[in-house]
Structure 1
Amino acid sequence: MENFSSIECFVRSAEVGSFAEAARRLSLTPAAVGKSVAKLETRLGVRLFQRSTRRLTLTEAGRRFLGKVRTSFNTIQNAVANLASAEGHPAGTLKVSVGTVFGCLYVVPLLSEFLRRYPAITPDWHFDNRQVDLIGQGFDAAIGGGFDLPQGVVARKLAPAHRVLVASPGWLEAHPGIGHPDDLSECDGILIRSPQTGRIRSWPLTHRNQAQASLTLKTRMTMSDSEAACRAATQDLGVALVSMPFAVPYLRSGMLQRVLPDWYVEDGHISVYYSEHKLLPGKTRAFVDFIIEQFAVQQWARHFSAI
């Protein structure tokens, strides 16, 4: 068991690059984690980390050792977690990352049903529009779109990630005759700035018949969030390009209407992400299966499609 604890301290320290952060996640002191790793190095007869005041860096031997033990370690840890589940039912703290507004609109409303089925699970849900390091930050799962897929992480597609052009009825009444993307070049645009890069992305438009066209709008303002862009558009301020999940409530209420409804932006898929393990913890498997089921029941793939 001591060897297992030492390997756990090594793996977590390697993932986060810090004894202090690993200690926080393991509910230990940094000194205890450092001492445990040092004992492991002594037993192995090699140095696993280069230590500095700012960060731990794996040595060549450390990288080889991590590659050999991490998958097996996680499999053993998941097996222990599954056996430790309350009376064989999924249990434990479930750490999930999801976008702020998307999570509030579509995931939080599922909470009562999820906990009714799995009362021994304790949700620890983080709302953030940025991509997280699923493994390095210790998340069990994440929901989002356009994530890079690092080694050891898999994605299950939930719905298309389409973006659409929207404007208020008042703005459309004041700007008749928009029938083609070329007609947008002199229109005020409420543009989305990427929270990851800070840049305004150039999007190509796709027609229902798969024809392509460029999208050019005058920059009236920029936002880093589709919900904020929708609210700005309701004030007759211009045309916004927003993700369908955020547009749906406004389109249903009539506060916004689609501009060029036969055109949309293809932006991949909304997916649920989780670690690639043959033996997932019961809590993670329960959550993934539940989310996939609920997306099907609510028909969100159809509602989020712009076609």
Structure 2
Amino acid sequence: MDTLNGIACFIRSAESGSFAAAARVLGLTPAAVGKNVARLEAELGVRLFQRTTRRLSLTEAGEAFRQEVQGSLDQLNGAMSNARARTTGPAGELRVALPNAFGREYIVPMLDTFLQAYPTIRPDWRFDNRPVDLIADGFDVAIGGGFDLRPGVVARVLAPAHRILVAAPDAMEGGPRIAKPGDLKGREGILIRSPQTGRVRDWVLSNRYGAEAAVELDRRIVFDDPDAACHAAALGMGIALVAVQSALPWIERGRLRRVLPDWWVEGGNLSLYYAAQALLPQKIRVFIDHIVESFRQQDLSERFNALHPTVL
């Protein structure tokens, strides 16, 4: 087991670039991780890392060893987890990363029935609008959009990630009517900063006939949180461009109304992300199945579509 522990410490350190980050994932101290890696190096007779005060970097031998053992370690961990699950059921800590408001509004309500079915699984969830590095940060699952699909990561699509324009109903009563995308010019906009780049993207609107038009709102307010953008729009501060899943609760409560309902922005997909493994641990598999089934039962894939009657 000492060798296996050493390999696990080596792999997590290689993924994260430090013993400290690997220790957080493995539930050990940085000193213990460093000692386990040193023992493994002594056993193999090669140096696996070049160590500096700031970061670890793999040696040529270390990179070759990582490529050879990475998949085997994941498969072994999955096999061990699944073997335990045959007698005790799926169990253990389930680390999930998900966006703030979306996670609270849609995913947290799905948790109760999941825990009733699998009482020995312990959720450990991080709410953050920024995409995570699934493997390096030690998460079992991430939910969201805009993730880089890196080697070794699988994406399972849950719903489209359309973006729509919304404003307070009262705010749309005064001023010139907005009937086409060109009418947005000069209107105060509430825009979202990209969590990946920190910039505000130049979005392009589309309609069902394939036409396209630029979003020409004035950049009045910039937020990094879509729920805050919806709140500001509901207070009459401008027109917000947000994902359907962010706007939907506000629309259903009558706080926001769709602007240019025939137009939307194609924002990719809302997906579940997890590591590609031949033997996926049961705690991850049952969670994925539960979320997919909950989306189906609540018709969320259709409700998050910009053409669904709820948001038109």
Mark yes or no: TM-score above 0.5. yes
User: What is residue 92 of structure 1 aligned with on the other side?
Assistant: 92
Cα displacement (A) at 1:53:
1.7
Q: Does 1:73 align with 2:73?
A: yes
Q: Partner residue of 2:195?
A: 195
Q: Distance in 2 between matches of 1:280 and 1:184?
A: 48
What is the SS of the residue equivalent to 1:220? Answer: strand
> How many Å apart are 1:86 and its aligned residue?
7.0
- AA of the residue aligned to 2:87: E
1:182 is aligned to 182
1:14-47 Cα offsets, whole Å, 9 max, x none, are 1122223323433333333222222222222211
Name stretches of at least 5 consecutive residues in structure 2 with no aligned partner: 308-312
In 2, Cα distance between equivalents of 1:52 and 1:209: 57
Stretch deviating more after TM superposition (114-123 or 167-176): 167-176
Find out whether 1:245 has 2:249 as its counterpart. no
- TM-superposed deviation, 1:187: 1.0
Is residue 168–residue 257 contact of structure 2 (8 Å, CA) maintained in 1? yes
1:291 aligns with 2:263: no
Q: Which residue of 2 aligns with 1:256?
A: 256
2:35 aligns with 35
What residue identity is the alignment partner of 1:197? T
User: Aligned equivalents of 1:42 and 1:49: distance in 2?
Assistant: 12
Distance in 1 (CA, whole Å) between partners of 2:102 and 2:78 is 29
* Within-5 A mapping of 1:111-260: 111-260=111-260
1:2 Cα deviation after fit = 2.2
Give the distance between the partners of 1:207 and 1:129, measured in 2 at CA.
Answer: 27
Amino acid aligned to 1:226: P
Deviates more, 1:284-293 or 1:5-14: 5-14
Residue 299 (structure 1) shift: 0.3
Structure 2 vs 1, CA of residues 32 and 188 (structure 1 numbering), >3 Å: closer, same or farther? closer
Alpha carbons 1:158, 1:301 under 8 Å: kept = yes
| Deviation beyond 4 Å, 4+ runs, structure 1 | none
Matches of 2:16 and 2:92, distance apart in 1: 22
Contact 2:131 2:195 (8 Å CA) reproduced: no
SS in 1 for 2:96: strand
SS class of match (1:195): coil
With the length of structure 1 as denominator, give the TM-score of the two structures. 0.96
- Do 1:205 and 1:264's aligned partners in 2 also have CA atoms closer than 8 Å? yes
Per the normalisation by structure 2, the TM-score is 0.95
SS in 1 for 2:268: strand
Instruction: Give the corresponding residue for 1:304.
Output: 304
Does the CA-based 8 Å contact 1:82-1:281 persist in structure 2?
A: yes
Query: How far apart, in 1, do the equivalents of 2:108 and 2:24 lie?
Result: 27
* 2:222 match: secondary structure: strand
Query: Are the equivalent residues in 1 in contact too, given 2:25–2:137 (CA < 8 A)?
Result: no
Instruction: State the one-letter code of the partner of 1:28.
Output: L
The answer (yes or no) to whether the contact 2:20–2:29 under 8 Å persists in 1 is yes
Cα RMSD (Å): 1.3
Higher deviation after alignment, 1-10 or 18-27: 18-27
Question: Equivalent residue of 1:132, what SS?
Answer: coil
State the partner residue of 1:271: 271
State the 1:198 CA deviation. Answer: 1.8
Contact 1:86/1:120 (8 A) holds in 2: no
SS of the aligned residue for 1:20 comes to: helix
**Mean CA deviation greater in 241-250 or 82-91:** 82-91
Secondary structure in 2 matching 1:205: strand
The count of corresponding residues between Structure 1 and Structure 2 is 307
Identify the range of structure 1 (214-223 vs 92-101) with the bigger mean alpha-carbon deviation: 214-223
Identity across the alignment (%)? 54
Q: Which range moves more in the overlay, 278-287 or 247-256? A: 247-256
